[in-house]
Structure 1
Amino acid sequence: MADLQDDLHTAAEVGRADEPYPQEAVVVGPEEYRPVSDPDDAPLDRARAVLAAHPVCDGYSGLPWTLRGLPWYDLDLGESAVDADLPRLRKGQVGAVFWSLHLPDGHDGGRALATTLEQLDLAQGVVAAHEAGLRPARTAGEVVDARNCGRVAVLFGPAGAPALGDSLSVLRSLHALGVRVLTLTGTSWAGPAGLTRFGEEVVREMNRLGMVADLSYASASTIRRTLVVSKAPVLFTRSGARDLRPHPANLPDDLLAAVGEAKGLCLVPLTAEQAGPTVRDVADHLDHVRTVAGPDCVGLSGTYDTGGAHPQELRDPSCYPRLIAELLRRGWEESDVALLTWGNVQRVLRASAFTAHLARERRKPSTATITTLDG
């Protein structure tokens, strides 16, 4: 069904890959909009109503790695050992979530690919075991299908670039297995000095496949070069505003402006370390990124189950309505909230797929190697 739904968007409808895409929304009946009796509750009730129509696409979750260490768990009924079980995802009106396949420090070299595949296998098994609440998704259409069936769509990624082992064949294999986001850090071809010639070829092959580049924690040189080379929008899965809170993954205003010009997407993390200790601090970051990069270029990254501390009132995904209520109090229009929670991620997924469709007509699978290009 998802493939058919994607095919319904003709080239005339979607336009160029860097243009805004029509926003998908869940049809919400009048009963979702409850009358408000207490004026103090108005923003929270209004937030829940907006999220019923435009649920949260959460850009980063560390759940697969957390589940590796648990002997037993039940995400359906609720699991105290994790942040993001199904009851809390439903309460927070989360419609889709990216499950990270990142590796802890020290996992590199030949072991990186094996550990990434182990995480992917576990993640796919978890989704299959909770089919009443979760559904795997690889495209924007499949994300919408999952939501309309009452499930939370799970997208696999970001994975770490060290898993490739400098092999474009491995990149294609990971894509075939369902990985849709790759973080361009921690390799010889995407490091402090920026992208090498082979790194640029990796980005081009990702464009051809429809795999999205994640640039959180990447060097400024890598970010700037990727924005030039990539024909599809890029993601920053865990990046706030450096002008508000210094952190290696947060972006200075000049890079935020460049992301806006390239129609990329900065997903602000809900962590105390990067955004601050209160829900107001997170809202400040969202305000700042929206102002500098634009309303089409800001989104949400829960970063739950990553071991980090979260701001007050945002301890788990059930608290998303509190954040949205804070934004509504600040005067955000519902249309901008809809972009923040749902529409901007959908745009990036659709643009990535559209770019891949065009690229496959022009390019065959790359046979380049790091030896031939970076020799």
Structure 2
Amino acid sequence: MADLQNELHPTAEAGELPLEAPFEETPYACDPLERARELLTDHPVADGYGTLPWVLRGLPWYDLELGESAVDTDIPRLREGQVGAVLWALRLPGDTAEGAGGDAGRRAVAVTLEQIDLVRAVVDAHPEGLRAARTAGQVIDARNCGRVAVLLGPAGAPALDDSLGVLRILHSLGLRVLTLAGTSWASEAGLSRFGEEVVREMNRLGVVADLSGASDATIVRTLTLSKAPVLCTRSAARALRPHPDNLSDELLSALGRAKGVCMVPLTADQTGPALTDVADHLDHIRAVAGPHAVALSGVYDSPAAHPEGLPDPSAYPHLVTELLRRGWPDTDLTLLTWDNLQRVLRNADFLSRAARSRREPSTARLTELDGGRG
């Protein structure tokens, strides 16, 4: 897919310096950690996956503004880690994660709606630290006001209950990302005809496809079909660690060519037990897919163990410090922490506006396109 954001890197006119030159020449402190913090001041971390809403469901009381020891994520730690935006996943319990219709599908819808309601309540209760956002512009507005932008998603595909109408309702409530896995129409066999229609409707709405946890066949077909760039919200390099949610070099290259983004999870099982292991994955994906195709996901407040040195969101500056030591240029670091996710959101918004002028809401049904298989 052609990059619709070429205007972000205009060609310099004769006699002008490239836009990157003054940025690269900005004087930084000699201390690497202080330099990392200075860089994150203008380009904070956009964290691609956290499950705080799921954890908060089980707490009788919490205060994220003052700090909350029962969770990994609170506002003091987000500020310490210089996090500017978070994607809060809408998890499904194990008994609905593989559901595709019927009672399981209805439970998935209900659980997802309950978490959306909870996220709204959390944001409303912490107006000095958090702000709800749906678009790339609203994310920027939240950052400029000193708030952490909260975006909804990814939600699991079973939460649609095989209905494009439910997809539209979830989008109207703020859903920005949907994981394409765990259903009959996004399975090991790839996307069915109905699954392809789901992707087209997601493009029309501006809902970004998340391919972490999807089969290789689903990933390949979605990259071909989707007009908007996709995310892998919690995937690392399979060449370095053979986790089922990690991506092969072939898939990483295809993701880079499609202008998608692989958001590397800070989990020991997917990246390794140490901060340097995470940096190894970031190095590898940058080399294979390109610097425009890599970003970060804390995966905090999940059952996963985190690498030593990265226990919670406050540790992000230390990871950036390690990358500075490895010679990452400032331009690549700003893509990693902030710009790549913003580009995906902007492209999805732009394509959605164009698609809505050409395409009516889809009325396709699973039974019509796939013969009711489930």
Q: Fold conserved (TM > 0.5)?
A: yes
Question: Which residue of structure 1 lines up, in the alignment, with residue 23 of structure 2?
Answer: none
Residue 289 of structure 1 and its aligned partner are, at CA, apart by: 0.5
Residue 280 of structure 1 and its aligned partner are, at CA, apart by: 0.5
1:255-298: per-residue Cα shift (whole Å, max 9, x none)? 00000110100000000110111110000000001010100000
RMSD: 1.5
Indicate if the aligned counterparts of 1:267 and 1:299 stay in contact, CA closer than 8 A.
yes
In 1: Cα distance, 2:5 partner to 2:43 partner: 20
1:75-122: per-residue Cα shift (whole Å, max 9, x none)? 000000000100000000000000000212112422110011001100
Query: Which amino acid in the other structure matches residue 32 of structure 2?
Result: P
Instruction: Pick one of 337, 343, 350 that aligns with 1:347.
Output: 343
Residue 358 of structure 1 and its aligned partner are, at CA, apart by: 1.2
Indicate if the aligned counterparts of 2:72 and 2:312 stay in contact, CA closer than 8 A.
yes
Q: 1:225-374 to 2 correspondence within 5 Å?
A: 225-374=221-370
Indicate if the aligned counterparts of 1:238 and 1:267 stay in contact, CA closer than 8 A.
yes
Gaps of 5+ in 2: 10-25
Match of 1:225, SS?
helix
Match of 1:362, SS?
coil
In 2: Cα distance, 1:219 partner to 1:177 partner: 28
Q: Which runs of 4+ in 1 moved over 6 A?
A: none
In 2: Cα distance, 1:62 partner to 1:261 partner: 29
1:159-211: per-residue Cα shift (whole Å, max 9, x none)? 00001111100000000000100000000000000000000000000000000
**Matched residues, number:** 348
Seen in structure 2, the aligned counterparts of structure 1 residues 222 and 69 have a Cα distance that, compared at 3 Å, is same
Query: Which amino acid in the other structure matches residue 71 of structure 1?
Result: P
Indicate if the aligned counterparts of 2:3 and 2:259 stay in contact, CA closer than 8 A.
no
Q: Which moved more, 1:353-362 or 1:341-350?
A: 353-362
In 2: Cα distance, 1:337 partner to 1:327 partner: 8
In 2: Cα distance, 1:363 partner to 1:243 partner: 40
Query: Which amino acid in the other structure matches residue 8 of structure 2?
Result: P
Q: Does 1:209 align with 2:195?
A: no
1:305-334: per-residue Cα shift (whole Å, max 9, x none)? 012110111000000000000000000001
Q: TM-score, normalised by structure 1?
A: 0.91
Indicate if the aligned counterparts of 1:54 and 1:338 stay in contact, CA closer than 8 A.
yes
Q: Does 1:67 align with 2:56?
A: yes
Indicate if the aligned counterparts of 1:18 and 1:232 stay in contact, CA closer than 8 A.
no
Query: Which amino acid in the other structure matches residue 286 of structure 1?
Result: L
Q: TM-score, normalised by structure 2?
A: 0.91
Instruction: Pick one of 77, 84, 87 that aligns with 2:76.
Output: 87
Q: Does 1:22 align with 2:11?
A: no
In 1: Cα distance, 2:63 partner to 2:122 partner: 10
Gaps of 5+ in 1: 1-14, 24-31, 37-41
Identity between Structure 1 and Structure 2 (%): 66
Seen in structure 2, the aligned counterparts of structure 1 residues 21 and 83 have a Cα distance that, compared at 3 Å, is farther
